[in-house]
């Protein structure tokens, strides 16, 4: 008898879980930085074009493929791809990316997520509330990360303690499964995240003009800096690539997570409205909350000159340096700092548990083992894999993991998905599959978009990257001589990890083929 697969308790649960996977650091830190440094309000034009022609189609594709594969007992890309194209015995190995990508992101994302828990604690204890200088706050972050020893920290001891707590929390949620773990977490965390975001938004909107001597440093001009459009930026291919990359990043597309989540749906469960709702929830969090907190607040306190460099300073500096300095200038600084970092922690943990699920589902589905055993294997393996990113952060290991796991393979995997869905499965079959159990009809224009526009969009992105970046990246031209051994070691490790997952796929399919042959021989003998 086939083992009973887990399932979602409600439609709200799956929507919140997918939204939780998508809503993360990218919404509150990456999006405002990208918008501010790429044309302001003009950035929204390529961003929305990418959302409608790439984001929404891929969201529907992944929901539909996941539900389809779940009907055959597969919760990850190798099995789902195999069922789409049974005549091709190699296609399942392309699906390895759908396990490899989220696994790579998990092994560095969990460490970064633990910083948020640590900073939440430090906010309440007042450890950094007296810091008013950007350089000193940067030193605080570097000391905490273990990059340097200073007056704040002597080694990565505190960071490692919070990493252990965060890692155990993640594994604990995963252990309790889809309904009892992930769905329950998201039903609690997502409303709480929304409340925290609204509290901070209200506080930012009421900042006014803190310094009467600088009347132009006000919240209206802060929003103007972020949203006033510089239409000349639309002539830059880089802006379009940045906007497209943000859509991939923010919606958790091309990772394999949505495939796995959707595989726990029933055949008649709606994917059209659910997928659209999850995508819309993420966009509201990103544009309304993410675009209204960090950059406008920083403008009020640092002014129009400094905000240029702040907007381009990167995700880590925005979240862990600039924003604490802003909050330190407010009444009730400790409370607001805690709300800020706890908001980000909630966003982080709902994303990280989703990154773990494809690997756990693969072990459960393809090797027919219990969830307890699958989680134990996953926990032991990822704990070891997390260590290089923790101890060699300063040598570029995390950046390398993010580049391959969180950037390149996302676009490659998304391209494979849309080709399989629209051209191998067939657009007519795909259109019928999308609408099974649907509460609404997708506009017919999307039939053309999914088949032609979306894959063309993806091929252009990949082509542009190969033309502009391939040789410098492979040659490590932008990597210092001191860091090259660490980056090379990371690449070798990633290749070994990918090969290991591919080997597991081969073993799983060989076992299934042997069982099938045994059943056939048994039937003939009877």
d(CA 298, CA 346): 23
Tens-digit pLDDT profile for residues 341-391: 999 999 999 999 999 999 999 999 999 999 999 999 999 999 999 999 999
Q: How far apart are CA 219 and CA 254, in angstroms?
A: 37
- The contacts of residue 383 (CB under 8 Å, 6+ apart) are 167
Structure tokens at 100: 């490899």
> 3-state DSSP: the chain helix, strand, coil percent, rounded to 5?
80, 0, 20
* CB neighbour class for 435 (10 Å; exposed up to 12, middle 13-18, buried from 19): middle
Cβ proximity of 159 and 391 under 8 Å = no
Angle at 491 between CA 488 and CA 497, to 5 degrees: 145
Has residue 522 been placed in a domain?
no
98 found inside a domain: yes
Q: Let me know if residue 503 belongs to a domain.
A: no
Half-sphere exposure (CA, 13 Å, Cβ side) for 341? 25
Long-range contacts of 480-483 (CB under 8 A, 24+ apart): 482/395, 483/395, 483/396
pLDDT at position 1: 46
Q: Classify the phi-psi angles of 40: left when phi > 0, otherwise alpha if psi is within -120 to 50, otherwise beta.
A: left
Kindly write down the DSSP assignment for every residue of 311-329, as one continuous string. HTS-HHHIIIIIHHHHHHT
145: Cβ contacts below 8 Å, ≥ 6 apart: 115, 156, 159, 393, 394
Q: Is residue 84 included in any domain, yes or no?
A: yes
Q: Coil, helix or strand for 307?
A: helix
Q: Pick from 192, 222, 191: which is nearest to 206 by CA?
A: 222
Distance between CA atoms of residues 121 and 467, nearest Å: 46
Let me know: does 75 contact 84? Beta carbons within 8 Å: no
- The verdict on residue 504 lying in a domain is no
Q: Alpha-carbon distance 118 to 345, whole Å?
A: 10
The tens place of each residue's pLDDT in the chain, 526 residues long, gives 456 778 898 888 999 999 899 888 888 888 888 888 888 888 889 999 999 999 999 999 999 999 999 999 899 999 999 999 999 989 999 999 999 999 999 999 999 999 999 999 999 999 998 898 888 999 999 999 988 888 899 888 999 999 999 999 999 999 999 999 999 999 999 999 999 999 999 999 988 787 788 888 989 988 988 888 888 888 887 788 788 888 988 898 888 999 999 999 998 899 999 999 999 999 988 988 888 898 898 888 888 888 878 777 777 788 898 889 999 988 899 999 999 999 999 999 999 999 999 999 999 999 999 999 999 999 999 999 999 999 999 999 998 998 888 878 888 999 999 999 999 999 999 999 999 999 899 999 999 999 999 999 889 888 877 777 778 888 888 889 999 999 999 999 999 999 999 999 999 999 888 877 787 777 677 6
The predicted-structure confidence for 126-159, as pLDDT tens digits, reads as follows: 999 889 888 899 999 999 998 888 889 988 899 9
Give the Cβ contact number of residue 126 at 10 Å.
Answer: 11
Domain-embedded: residue 5: no
Q: What is the pLDDT of residue 3?
A: 64
Q: Is residue 498 part of a domain?
A: no
CA 463 to chain centre: 23
Phi, psi of 40 (to 5 degrees): 60, -125
The tally of domains found in the chain comes to: 1
- Whether 399 is in a domain gets the answer yes
- Specify whether the CB–CB gap between 85 and 424 falls below 8 A: yes
CATH of the domain at 370: 1.10.4160
Q: Centre a 10 Å sphere on the Cβ of residue 390 and count the other Cβ atoms it contains.
A: 20
Torsion sign, CA atoms 184, 99, 102, 391: positive
> Which neighbouring-strand residues pair with 514?
none
- pTM for this model (two decimals): 0.92
Cα angle value 205/211/216 (rounded, 5°): 70
Domain that residue 99 falls in: 17-461
């Amino acid at each position: 008898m086939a083992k009973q697969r887990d399932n979602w308790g409600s439609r709200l649960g799956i929507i919140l879980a997918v939204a939780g996977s998508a809503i993360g650091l990218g919404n509150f830190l990456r999006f405002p930085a990208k918008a501010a440094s790429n044309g302001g309000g003009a950035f929204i034009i390529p961003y929305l074009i990418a959302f409608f022609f790439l984001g929404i189609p891929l969201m529907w594709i992944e929901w539909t493929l996941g539900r389809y594969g779940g009907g055959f007992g597969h919760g990850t890309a190798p099995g789902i791809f195999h069922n789409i194209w049974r005549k091709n015995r190699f296609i399942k190995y392309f699906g390895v990316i759908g396990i490899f990508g989220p696994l790579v992101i998990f092994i560095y994302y969990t460490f970064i997520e633990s910083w948020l828990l640590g900073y939440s604690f430090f906010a309440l204890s007042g450890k950094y509330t007296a810091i008013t200088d950007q350089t000193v706050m940067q030193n605080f972050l570097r000391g905490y990360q273990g990059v340097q020893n200073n007056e704040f920290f002597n080694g990565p001891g505190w960071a490692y303690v919070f990493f252990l707590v965060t890692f155990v929390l993640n594994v604990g949620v995963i252990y309790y499964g889809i309904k009892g773990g992930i769905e329950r977490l998201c039903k609690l965390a997502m409303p709480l995240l929304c409340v925290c975001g609204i509290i901070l938004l209200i506080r930012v909107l009421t900042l006014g003009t803190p310094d009467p001597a600088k009347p132009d440093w006000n919240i209206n001009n802060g929003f103007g800096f972020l949203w006033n459009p510089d239409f000349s930026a639309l002539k830059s291919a880089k802006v379009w690539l940045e906007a497209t990359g943000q859509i991939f990043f923010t919606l958790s597309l091309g990772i394999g997570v949505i495939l796995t989540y959707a595989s726990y749906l029933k055949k008649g469960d709606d994917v059209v409205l659910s997928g659209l709702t999850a995508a819309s929830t993420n966009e509201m969090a990103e544009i309304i909350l993410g675009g209204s907190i960090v950059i406008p607040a920083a403008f009020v306190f640092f002014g129009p000159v400094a905000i240029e460099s702040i907007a381009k300073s990167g995700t880590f500096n925005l979240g862990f340096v600039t924003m604490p300095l802003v909050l330190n200038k407010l009444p009730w600084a400790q409370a607001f700092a805690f709300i800020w970092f706890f908001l980000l922690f909630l966003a982080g943990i709902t994303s990280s548990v989703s990154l773990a699920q494809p690997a756990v589902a693969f072990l459960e589905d393809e090797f027919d083992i219990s969830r307890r055993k699958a989680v134990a294997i996953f926990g032991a393996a990822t704990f070891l894999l997390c260590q290089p990113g923790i101890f060699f952060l300063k040598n570029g290991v995390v950046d390398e993991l993010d580049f391959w796991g969180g950037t390149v393979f996302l676009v490659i995997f998304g391209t494979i998905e849309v080709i399989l869905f629209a051209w191998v499965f067939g657009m007519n079959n795909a259109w019928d599959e999308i609408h099974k159990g649907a509460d609404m009809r997708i506009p017919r224009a999307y039939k053309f978009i999914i088949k032609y526009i979306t894959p063309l969009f993806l091929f252009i992105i990949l082509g542009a990257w190969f033309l502009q970046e391939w040789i410098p990246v492979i040659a490590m031209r932008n990597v210092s001589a001191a860091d090259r051994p660490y980056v090379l070691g990371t690449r070798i490790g990633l290749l070994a990890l990918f090969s290991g997952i591919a080997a597991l796929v081969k073993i799983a399919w060989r076992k299934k083929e042997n069982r099938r042959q045994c059943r056939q021989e048994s039937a003939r003998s009877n």
